[in-house]
Amino acid sequence: MSTTELPVLAILGGTGDLGTGLARRWAQAGYEVIIGSRTLEKAQAAVADLREVMSERGLAEISVQAQENLAAAEAADIVALTVPFSHQASTLELVKPALQGKILIDVTVPLVPPKVARVQLPQQGSAGQIAQELLGDDVAVVSAFQNVAAAHLQEGHGIECDVLVCGNKREAREAVITLVEAAGMRGFHAGMIDNAAAAEALTSVLIVINKQYKCHAGIKISGLGED
């Protein structure tokens, strides 16, 4: 990839509302996006649905394709993981060789059904830390997007939600912040991967708020003097 080209993006487990929402926004911003799934057929169905929606919006020329998870990870420059927590480790084990030297955006939240409205962080501290330990230092794991409602990602306008971006390498965090902005939000450096625990825990808090107030709440960083 040259410095003038946009990176190719893969979204593993990208067939749900969260994955297709990110795919929609990144493709609309001009990125080549690969939707990955455990089965090619499921990825192809998600791409077909996405193309239909984008065509209705007059955006038929987007670059989105379907592949199985491993092939998607191999073909991409930056990889996002949007699988449930119960599938995080197994998916990362599968694609680990393909992630070496790349950025992994870990969107995993350690929700433990049925009590998803309670904070239940894993023994390692966070899903982001699990990913970093499993993949090793040659993969730059960046935790992001945990507090963004999938319903808002499916919409065609900007989102009133900020994104906390955690990771051990500042350059990798900066690259992910660029993708946050491409998706229509503000991204903020939020420290090392250890700090991912805070964003992950907030998801359960937001689930409570959403249920109580019948909304799709997010977070907003204040005090920047630029409202």
Residues 6+ apart with CB under 8 A from 122: 110, 130
Percent of the chain at pLDDT exceeding 90? 89
Domain 9-213 CATH class label: alpha beta
Looking at the predicted structure, is the pLDDT value of residue 2 above 50?
no
Q: How many CB atoms lie within 10 A of CB 135?
A: 20
Mind listing the pLDDT tens digit for each residue in 69-117? Answer: 999 999 999 999 999 999 999 999 999 999 999 999 999 999 999 999 9
pLDDT tens-place string over residues 152-198:
999 877 899 999 999 999 999 999 999 999 999 999 999 999 999 99
**What is the average pLDDT across 211-219?**
96
Q: How many helices (H) and strands (E) does the chain have?
A: 8, 8
What mean pLDDT do residues 191-215 have? 98
Q: Can you give the pLDDT at residue 155?
A: 86
Token pair listed for 216: 């799709």
Name the nearest CA neighbour of 69 among 60, 55, 80.
Answer: 80
pLDDT in the model for residue 226 = 64
The answer to whether the CB of 152 falls within 8 A of the CB of 190 is: no
Domain ranges of the chain: 9-213
> What are the tokens at 130?
């699990």
Percent of residues in the chain assigned helix, strand, coil, to nearest 5: 45, 15, 40
Residue 221 Cα distances to 133, 142, 163, angstroms: 29, 19, 9
* DSSP conformation letters of 134-150: HH-TTSEEEE--TTS-H
pLDDT at 56 over 90: no
Q: Are 6 and 32 in contact (CB under 8 A)?
A: yes
The amino acid present at 188, given as its one-letter code, is F
Cis peptide bond prior to 114, omega within 30° of 0: yes
Contact 182, 26 (CB under 8 A): yes
At 165 the pLDDT is: 98
pLDDT in tens, 6-20: 999 999 999 999 999
